[in-house]
Amino acid sequence: MHLPRFSIFAVVTLFILLDFVHGFSNNKVIDSQTLAEDIRSDRTITVDADGNGDFKSVQAAIDHIPNRNSKWIMIHISKGIYREKVKIPRSKPYIFMRGEGSGMTTIVWSRSSADDYESASFKVEAKNFIAYGITFKNAAPTGIDRTKQNKAVAVVVGADKAAFYHCSFISNHNTLFDARGRHYYGGCYVQGSVDVIFGHGQSMFHECEVFVVPNLKSEIKGSITASHKQRGNTTGGFALVKSKVYGVDNVYLGRAKGTHSTVVFADTYLSKSVVSHGWTDWSYPHSKENLLLAEYNCHGPGSSSSNRTEWSKQLSYEEALRFITVDFINGKDWLPAWL
């Protein structure tokens, strides 16, 4: 086909304009087929609650994978509600769990406990894990219960190199236990009240949404983050980049937990749900000298820095730089895709 020169020019110009309208950095969406190609997974196990797959339960599919698995295996989970507690043990790395969309494929259990780990609906303890399009939920009752039996974790991420794309994490108390290792959350939705994201992990949340629900289980105002980082020379810390915080109750951006707690909110929308003080030292009697609880270039009605606690920081671009790209989690070395 011979297109006249002018039309080629017009088409190219149109594409450049469209690209511009959508913003150069916001036009990428991570899709599960590309992910599967990138990791070269050539084996798929199917799970279907109605019995039309290889297995009816997610745990049965995981149990079927041999120990010391060394090649990516995809577990496709059809839409449906899977009422089970699921655990991927350390011996089973290279699992890619793909659902049919957040809110469509749901893994849910209801358990509250004094122990975070024990309460969790889903635990991953194997390195090299990917989840795509799945809702993970702990549906433990949300009534008033001011006891220590109030932890209701949706997910524990307890190993290095885990990535979640377009997933949802839903609970009312201690939602996402980002326990250890480096992790990436792209386009995810996280709902909770107290310690929504907590643990020793070193993680990046890119274009995620945090929805704040009322906290009925303790008298304190909740915090979105509680970073347990204890030493300057170890990994740890959370970066929320180009994300959104909103909801139906008030919340702190984070609380001091470990002596080197590290959390940065960057280029993120903060609604009125964020209290003006920003950060809290509730139950933290230690020195604030080594904390890095900070914001960079946030916007929205909750982003004003005028009443922020004096031990939090507003970063310059140079200071924020190591938190706002996937280099923060050495992502270019191990992530199949990122935004």
Annotated catalytic residues are: 195
Residue 25 binds ligand NAG, judged by CB under 6 A: no
Judge whether 173 and 112 are in contact, CB under 8 Å.
yes
- Rounded to a whole number of angstroms, the minimum distance from the CB of residue 330 to ligand NAG is 17
Exactly one of 28, 277, 286, 322 binds ligand NAG (CB under 6 A); that residue is 277
Exactly one of 276, 290, 297, 325 binds ligand NAG (CB under 6 A); that residue is 276
Number of residues that bind ligand NAG (CB under 6 A): 5
Exactly one of 233, 285, 289, 318 binds ligand NAG (CB under 6 A); that residue is 233
Exactly one of 28, 90, 231, 286 binds ligand NAG (CB under 6 A); that residue is 231
**What is the chain's Cα-based Rg?**
21
**For residues 60-89, which are near ligand NAG according to CB under 6 A?**
none
- Rounded to a whole number of angstroms, the minimum distance from the CB of residue 331 to ligand NAG is 23
- Rounded to a whole number of angstroms, the minimum distance from the CB of residue 119 to ligand NAG is 30
Considering beta carbons, is residue 50 or 310 the nearer one to ligand NAG?
310
Among the listed residues 198, 184, 211, the one whose alpha carbon sits nearest the alpha carbon of residue 262: 198
187 Cβ contact partners less than 8 Å away, ≥ 6 residues apart? 29, 30, 165, 166, 206, 207, 208, 339
Exactly one of 7, 67, 70, 307 binds ligand NAG (CB under 6 A); that residue is 307
Considering beta carbons, is residue 297 or 309 the nearer one to ligand NAG?
309
When CB distances to ligand NAG are compared, the closest residue is 277
- Rounded to a whole number of angstroms, the minimum distance from the CB of residue 253 to ligand NAG is 13
Residues that bind ligand NAG (CB under 6 A): 231, 233, 276-277, 307
